[in-house]
Amino acid sequence: MTMSKERLYLFDTTLRDGQQTPGVDFSVEDKIAIARMLDAFGVDYVEGGYPGANPTDTAFFAEKRTAASKFVAFGMTKRVGVSASNDPGLAALLQSCCDAICFVAKSWDYHVRVALGCTNEENIDCIRASVEAARAAGKEAMVDCEHFFDGFKANPDYALACAKAAHDAGARWIVLCDTNGGTQPSEVRAIVERVIASGIPGGNLGIHAHDDTGQAVANSLAAVEAGVRQVQGTLNGIGERCGNANLVTIIPTLMLKPAYAERFVTGISAEQLADISRLSRSFDELLNRAPEAQAPYVGSSAFATKAGIHASALAKEPATYEHVPPETVGN
C-alpha cells in the first residue's frame, strides 16, 4: 500500500534575514530580480523585508512582487500600551501589498523583561492582537518565535504559552527560531516533539535555524523529522554572523534523499530542481561574489575529484563516488 506523502513548505528569507549579511545591501531593483528568481524556482513563500522600517522595503512592498509564491512582509507585533488599530508599525504591515505577514515575537521571558520591558502577559496579548489584526485584514498570519529554543530551555511553560497564543489566535504558522544558532540537532528534535505534544500540530510549525555551530541544515532536517512542516532559509545560506540555513542544500536533500523523498513532497518540480545550480550561481553573480567551489550539490567541486583511485573509479563508473546524479541539480 502506498502512503500519501506529506507536504513540506519552503520559506525563503533571503531578502529579509539574508539582508543582515555583512556587505550585502539590496536595492529595490535587486529585490525585484531576486523575488522573480525565487518565484520561478517554486518556493512557497518569499519574505521581502520590513515595510515601514526603511525606504527600500517600503517601496518594495508598494506592489506584489511574486506571481506564484506568497509574498510575505515581516515586522514586529504591536507595541505594548497602544491598541492594534493605533500602532503605526502594524498599520504599515497591514497596508503593504503582501499575501502574508510574519510577526517576530519574543518567546524567552528574559528578553521580554530586558528588551521589551513589559510583563509576560502583555507580550502574549501583543502576539494575539497582532495575529488577529492580520487575519482581519485578509492576510495569512505567521509568528516567528524569536530565541525559541533558548527560551524553552530557560522557561518551557512561557515559550509554549507564546507559541500557543499565536496558534489559538489563528496563525497559519508558528516558526520556532534558533536565533543565535547554538542549539544542537538532538535538542531541536526533542523540543519540537514537546511542542507538538503540547497541542500545536506539526502542520502549523516551522523551523528557522542559524549556522553558528555549522548545523543550520542539520537542525532544519531534525525539525522536519520531528514534525515541523515549514522550513525557512536563504539562498546560499547568507545571513548575519555565520548565516542562515542554506535552502540550496536543504531542497535537494529533501527531494533526492530517500529518507525524505519517500515521506515528503515540496512545491518544487524535478525540472525546477535541475535549475538550482544556475539559481545559486546567478545569485552569487548578483551579489558580485565568487561561488563557493565546495558548496554541496551546486559547487564546481561538488562532483569533481582529484585523487588517483577516486578519479580512476569515476572514469569507469561515475556512480562510485557520486551520492546523487549531478544532472538532478543541474551541476
Query: How far is residue 254's CA from residue 70's CA, in Å, rounded to a whole number?
Result: 21
pLDDT in tens, 125-141: 999 999 999 999 999 99
* pLDDT score at 115: 93
Do 73 and 45 form a contact (C-beta atoms < 8 A)? no
Give the pLDDT of residue 143: 98
* Spatial CA neighbour of 116 closest among 162, 175, 172: 162
Q: Is 177 helix (H, G, I), strand (E, B) or coil?
A: strand
Determine if residue 126 is left, alpha or beta; phi over 0 gives left, psi from -120 to 50 gives alpha, anything else beta.
Answer: alpha
Q: What is the pLDDT of residue 208?
A: 98
pLDDT at residue 316 in the model: 66
How do residues 305-317 score in pLDDT, each as one tens digit?
Answer: 666 556 666 666 6
The SS3 assignment for 201 reads coil
Q: Rounded CA gap, 142 and 45, in Å?
A: 12
Instruction: Provide the pLDDT for residue 307.
Output: 61
Point out the residues of the chain with pLDDT beneath 50: none
7: left (phi over 0), alpha (psi -120 to 50) or beta: beta
State phi, psi for 58 to the nearest 5 degrees: -65, -45
Residue 50's Cβ-side half-sphere holds a number of Cα atoms within 13 Å equal to 14
Using DSSP bridges, classify how beta strands 173-178 and 140-146 pair: parallel, antiparallel or unpaired: parallel
pLDDT at 318: 65
Residue indicated by cell numbers 509576560: 120
Q: Which of 255, 257, 260, 202 is nearest to 227 (CA)?
A: 202
Distance CA 235, CA 246 (A): 6
